[in-house]
Amino acid sequence: MKKLIILSLMIFCAGTLFANPLVLYYSRADENYGVGYIEKGNAAIVAEMIAAKTGADMFQIVPEKAYPANYKECCDVALAEKNKKARPAYIGDVDVSKYDTIYICYPIWWSDFPMTMYTFFESHDLNGKTLIPFVTHEGSGVSGTDKTLARLYKTSTVKEPLAITGRNIQKDRKKTESSVDAWLKKVSK
Ligand SMILES: Cc1cc2nc3c(=O)[nH]c(=O)nc-3n(C[C@H](O)[C@H](O)[C@H](O)COP(=O)(O)O)c2cc1C
């Protein structure tokens, strides 16, 4: 009996110490700025790289209502949502309590997170966790979204974000991968 308790404790501790991270991501394929129509979104490409390199589980925030495939039309819908602080619904869910480290990969939409990400944030407590943002954009950079995370989750640790333009992710997968490698080394210390 004593042996069984010790063994269970060891398994529990190993599970806690070596729990996989989570890659939480939001990404849109279809027509995008500077890249034409793409089959897989830019954040999705890097999210998969991170998961492959870290052994992380993945959860994609997929809006219930798809955005227009046309870039300009999508921008119009997204701007209207931002202006009214919309909180669009998404499909499925993930139990974040299992994860201490969460990579959060997303595009910048109108110098902010896509509004559906706020729907997720406002219904999940990421306090006390290590949050590692990966941002894809076309000129706006991180746009303060790392600070927003720190504001939303006051007791989280937000690590230095990596930002890569969608155009560069599409153009040079090798270079993207080496930037991701160098950044992972830094943020996983
Ligand atoms: C609705 C919308 C709004 C965008 N707003 C910005 C922006 O404010 N600043 C910027 O640099 N890029 C902006 N972009 C470009 C995206 O951030 C960029 O194309 C990114 O690589 C898309 O990633 P994804 O394919 O994972 O969705 C916007 C794109 C869309 C569709």
For the whole model, what pTM was predicted? 0.93
Alpha carbon nearest to ligand 1 atom 8, residue: 110
23 exposure class (CB count in 10 Å sphere: 0-12, 13-18, 19+)? buried
Helices and strands counted in the chain (H then E) = 7, 8
For each of the chain's 189 residues, which pLDDT tens digit applies? 677 776 666 655 555 556 899 999 999 999 999 999 999 999 999 999 999 999 999 999 999 999 999 999 999 999 999 999 999 999 999 999 999 999 999 999 999 999 999 999 999 999 999 999 999 999 999 999 999 999 999 999 999 999 999 999 999 999 999 999 999 999 988
Question: What tokens does 92 get?
Answer: 């499925």
Phi, psi of 157 (to 5 degrees): -110, 115
Ligand 1 in reach of 74 Cβ (< 6 A): yes
Nearest CA to ligand 1 atom 16: 137
Please tell me the total count of domains within the chain.
Answer: 1
CATH code (residue 73): 3.40.50.360
- What's the CA gap between 3 and 8, in Å, rounded? 9
* Alpha carbon of 105 to ligand 1 centroid (Å): 12
Domain carrying residue 85:
2-187
Atom of ligand 1 nearest to the CA of 25: 26
139 C-beta closer than 6 A to ligand 1: yes
